[in-house]
Amino acid sequence: MSIDKATVAHIARLARIALPEDAREAVAGELNNILAWVEQLAEVDTDGVEPMTSVVEVALPLRADEVTDGARVEEILANAPRREDGYFVVPKVVE
């Protein structure tokens, strides 16, 4: 696929980018180089290659999924402008 100046102008308009007329040729060349590189990647044989999330094999640390109250009720409620019976008091929003 080849990108010309008209396509660059169209892309710039869609992206809401002000691109001067004299810069369109250079941008078209850069985009064509990028597309050529992407086409090169398509030629790489990836059969048998497992997907990976990192270049380093690392096991993520896991913790037990336990529900707790945080044991910090008083510290948390200390930030509240109003509280009652261990809960935040907020203005009524539904009439």
Confidence of residue 56 (pLDDT cuts 50, 70, 90): confident
Contact residues for 3 (Cβ-Cβ < 8 A; gap 6+): 28, 31, 32, 35
Cα dist from 24 to 6, 14, 36, whole Å: 8, 14, 18
pLDDT tens digits, residue range 14-45?
A: 999 999 999 999 999 999 999 999 999 989 99
Is the entire prediction scored with pTM above 0.75?
Answer: no
State how far the Cα of 39 lies from the Cα of 78, in Å rounded to an integer: 59
Indicate the pLDDT class of residue 74, thresholds 50, 70 and 90.
confident
Joined tokens for residue 79 = 């930030």
The whole-number pLDDT of residue 17 equals: 95
Mean pLDDT is lowest, of 8-12, 23-27, 80-84, 91-95, for 91-95
